[in-house]
Amino acid sequence: MNNRVVVLGSCSVCHVFTSPELPARGETLIGDDYHIVVGGKGSGQAIVAQKLGGDVFLLERLGDDAYGRAEKQSYEEMGMHTEFVHLDTKTPTGHAGIFLDANGQNKIVVVPGANGQVSCSDVDCLRETIAGAKILGAQLEVPLETVDHAIRIAAALGVRTMLDPAPVAPIDESLYPCISIMKPNEREAQLLTGVPVTDSETAAEAARILLNKGVREAVIITLGEKGTVLVTRDTERYFPGIPMEAIDTGGAGDTFAGALLAALSRDWALEKAVCYAQCASALCVTRISGYSATDKAEVDALFAKVYPQYLS
């Protein structure tokens, strides 16, 4: 079975600071803990998609430094295809500062580093690999012109595309018809449409605007612990959140996206894929920086428990 997933990715070394609450502007707090994890939206989504059964090809630029070399090796060890993971000799691996409070909420600052060097020519070298894929996933942590180029190439080749518009940025209006599936969270959907997204109804309203802009198949808006809204041209579905005790919400959105890519690479229907992604995301928030600990057996078990109707 062809379950190839191509991810146009980014990677950042994440410096995580925890404290009882997040500092206000100009405020200094004494924290509880500090640790380093390697993250980034593209990297996280690719790792989750691989762990959940996708055959992942990752396009990414890392610095030719200790962090970059170690991360590329870790991709190889988990079975990911890394021939398009480049070690950049001129620019260091990207870094991020993550500030995490006792309720699992976070604030994040990212310095792109080598992520900013992913180019359209890099994408061109990947053309044949994209042509053989089930789906291409992209985010906005690499240059916008590169993302635009990759999505247009995939669409021209008849390959399904999924855009996670984060960190949110203006999108060329002519790109929307090349996007098969768009997956913003509530804030991103609001900034892209002007609709204040506070619940499932306003999420559906925002989703319809994005569909009217040209998104081909579906808009999926994640609402955190409130759940997910799926809107196609024919249907609207709200999936309530799965109750979990959140320890760290960081990585939940990327886990959702990676699980969605893996499920769609297996030709699952959109509704089933969304439910599977909700399970993966729900488990992610129960651990610190949890997407790297994604376990297929654990996700499959929760999926069977919460959504038994999809097992037949």
Report how far apart, in Å, the C-alpha atoms of 47 and of each of 16, 65, 261, 292 are. Answer: 19, 20, 11, 7
Spatial strand order in the sheet of 4-8: 85-88, 55-63, 4-8, 135-138, 160-163, 181-182, 218-222, 227-232, 236-240
Query: What is the C-alpha to C-alpha distance for residues 30 and 22, in angstroms, rounded to an integer?
Result: 10
Query: Which residues on neighbouring strands pair with residue 161, listed in sequence order?
Result: 136
Query: What is the C-alpha to C-alpha distance for residues 242 and 208, in angstroms, rounded to an integer?
Result: 25
Q: Apex CA 49: angle with CA 37 and CA 93, to 5°?
A: 35
Exactly one of 172, 254, 267, 295 is catalytic; name it.
Answer: 254
CB-CB contact of 248 with 211 (8 Å)? no
CB-CB contact of 182 with 165 (8 Å)? yes
CB-CB contact of 266 with 215 (8 Å)? no
CB-CB contact of 58 with 81 (8 Å)? yes
Q: Is 248 noted as a catalytic residue in this protein?
A: no
Tokens at 265, concatenated: 């690479």
Q: At what angle do helices 200-212 and 186-193 cross, to 10 degrees?
A: 50
Q: Other C-beta atoms within 10 Å of 67: how many?
A: 20
Would you report the helix, strand and coil content of the chain in percent, each value rounded to 5? 40, 25, 35
Q: Which residues are catalytic?
A: 254
